[in-house]
Structures are given as C-alpha cells and as structure tokens.
Amino acid sequence: MKNWDGDCHRCGTKTGIHMMSMFNTQLICMGCKDEEGQHDDYDRAVEAELSQCQGGNYNFKGIGLK
C-alpha cells in the first residue's frame, strides 16, 4: 500500500491509499482491491506476476482484466 492523494483508476473514488491491480497497471482503492480478490482469475494473475518478477521482469503489465 502507498499513500496517494488521487482517484481510483477503476471506480473513480477519491482515495489516500492505493495498491496496484494484479491484473493490470491500474492504481486501485482498497474496495476495488477486495473486489478484485474475488475474481475467478485472481490466483492466475498473482502467479503470473510472481513468475515474471522471479524471472527479472519488474515491468509486467499483467494478464489483463476480463
């Protein structure tokens, strides 16, 4: 989590804290992060991110959000 005064890139809510989505490069609020965790492909997105980072790709764009 990081302090950030801005709007959630997904829902537009004004927020002071954000996280990056596991699916793409959107900065999302905690509500959207909780919702994202319920997505059917969330575990696959987490595994893809981990695999890319372990392989040295720290700029992985994600698997995309469907």
The structural domains of the chain, with segments of one domain joined by +, span 2-54
**2 — pLDDT class (breaks 50, 70, 90):** low
Q: Give 18-48 pLDDT, tens digit per residue.
A: 999 999 999 999 999 999 999 999 999 999 9
CA–CA separation, 54 vs 66, rounded Å? 25
**Between these two residues, 1 and 29, which has the higher pLDDT value?**
29
Q: Tell me the torsion sign for CA atoms 61, 22, 4, 13.
A: positive
- What distance in Å separates the CA atoms of residue 34 and residue 41, rounded to the nearest whole number? 14
Both tokens assigned to 49? 């991110």
Rounded Cα distance between 15 and 24, Å, is 19
Residue 65 has pLDDT above 70, yes or no: yes
Question: How far apart (Å, rounded) are the C-alpha atoms in residues 7 and 54?
Answer: 31
